[in-house]
A and B are shown apart, each in its own frame.
Chain A
């Protein structure tokens, strides 16, 4: 049995092109890889330091002392990879540029924060499935809460290219945690009744935004689900024409899914789970989904290989006890 070129193509040594602060705790890391398999919005990459780090071990033994067995250089590095939705992808003269966005919350993201232009890291990808783009529905609503923003940026690009009419709803706890570049001449609408070209990252794809903050420091005051409801109330769009895509905290996606269920809006969610392998081997990242073929009416699917995109109405949001 041979490993095909296809499969080998997911292992990359990536070079850091830029690592830019976006707002408090949030960064955009741009990586260059020599080539990248055909990929679509919703897919993710799995990142970790290169192991072992260059020069960690001497190539020849160094006496009988502890030097040849020194492993302390590994101590402060994250062990497992971390999964990040691809936030953007561009062909560049010397390969492919990939954007990921991250918030510094722990040891691995602190390692990422320390990366500088020219540094190398290990990158597996593209992994996972992608957002379906529906021919027959001309409108697309993107609903992003907090760190759920990155996949929506690339999705906005793809939807715009396929001729869809797109509106993005972006929520954050506070203005200083919103990882978007605001146009000072286009303030967001406080009522959320109207989408405005306020965020440059979306405006460059002709996508207007509705911005909400939990503390009311920018745009609509309240969580992004309420902003969505206010917009829908004011605009009375034919919901048959809409596909809604959402990514963010699970409670927020649950409420958006319920909103869509009540209005019969097609809804796709991008799930997040702690993952070890990202390739289906460890079975860690399970998501409970309805399955009529199963005797219990549901089964676990893997976020990494069956997802991360799931049909919202199939996901079981309430926690399930051990079976």
Chain B
């Protein structure tokens, strides 16, 4: 009788995808980008969300918002333009209907927060901080599609004031500031956010853009202008991660979540090399909601091929 020979050579070295994001342990560096996964259940029907490094919610404001009229989205070359207008169910309905679902996922939850003034931001953060699974708040100071959204993000003084005010009222959860690319030098707003006490930076939100219908002479979006996302903005986003990392974040030991057109593991590796500790997937989820899992699998293969044992060996290693 033949005894089967066990192929020892087939054993894979274990690859560690975990990262530390300002004290939050992520099992892998891949998360969702705010506003691209609904509140969780919508995406959870299509992918096992517990396999994410973290889940980032749609923006939550104190009161419900209906958002912009349609059309809200149009495809552009290698990207898309959107103006959803921060449509959301509001703080109380989020707590009642969505938080219990997110608690069951067993992964860190990051709530994206939006408001007209500092009091709005504080109201949402203070009310949600007692929910244990919420590891961090991502302050949305950079939405280009609502009045008041971009104002905070483009002015370093106002940004500093907002982040400091929220910082004083948030004890346990970490504060992430989502930076706008619609500025002359993103390092200036990054420095303001860090000085005011941001624990991490999301780089970048969408770029302001528009598309015009040449037959009707009207904008394609009802909101007239929108935010551009997708592969078209990836080189811009990558540059901005590089700039924030080298000018501000590296020395301040503040981690960056890189985002902007990331669609596959190669894109993720580029952002990690440029200085991001984690990456967020947005527009690519609309094409394939399972993209985060594919990125994790691709990262594992890549690290194996490169003889590396941890994804942390990539962070900021740009030559």
Q: Point out residues on A near B: beta carbons under 8 Å.
A: 1-3, 7, 10-11, 48, 51-52, 57, 69, 71, 74-75, 78-81, 107-108, 122, 273-277, 279-288, 296, 299-300, 305, 319-323
Contact yes or no, A276 B38, CB < 8 A: no
Contact yes or no, A276 B80, CB < 8 A: yes
Contact flag A323-B80 (CB < 8 Å), given A1-B105, A274-B72, A282-B73? no
Binds A, one of B115-123, B240-248, B284-292: B284-292
- Give the complex CA separation of A147 and B69 in angstroms: 23
Contact flag A319-B69 (CB < 8 Å), given A3-B47, A276-B82? yes
- Chain B residues lying within 8 Å of A122, measured Cβ to Cβ, are 288
B108 at interface by CB-CB < 8 Å: no
Contact yes or no, B231 A79, CB < 8 A: yes
Of the residues B45, B48, B74, B75, contact of A78 by C-beta under 8 Å: B75
Contact yes or no, B67 A279, CB < 8 A: no
Contact yes or no, A279 B73, CB < 8 A: no
B46 at interface by CB-CB < 8 Å: yes
Contact yes or no, B45 A277, CB < 8 A: no
Which size bracket describes the interface of B in this complex?
35 or more
7 A-B pairs with the lowest CB-CB distances in the bound complex, closest first: A280-B42, A284-B73, A323-B66, A277-B286, A276-B286, A284-B72, A281-B38
Contact yes or no, A1 B104, CB < 8 A: yes
Min Cβ gap A279→B in Å is: 6
- Give the complex CA separation of A7 and B290 in angstroms: 12
Contact yes or no, A275 B46, CB < 8 A: no
- Give the complex CA separation of A52 and B284 in angstroms: 12
- Chain A residues lying within 8 Å of B68, measured Cβ to Cβ, are 322
Min Cβ gap B265→A in Å is: 10
B255-307 CB contacts (< 8 Å) to partner A? 263-264, 266, 283, 285-290
Contact flag A1-B44 (CB < 8 Å), given A282-B36, A283-B67, A283-B87? yes
Min Cβ gap A82→B in Å is: 9
**CB closest residue in chain A, given B65:** A323
Min Cβ gap B248→A in Å is: 27
B43 at interface by CB-CB < 8 Å: yes
B161 at interface by CB-CB < 8 Å: no
- Chain B residues lying within 8 Å of A57, measured Cβ to Cβ, are 266
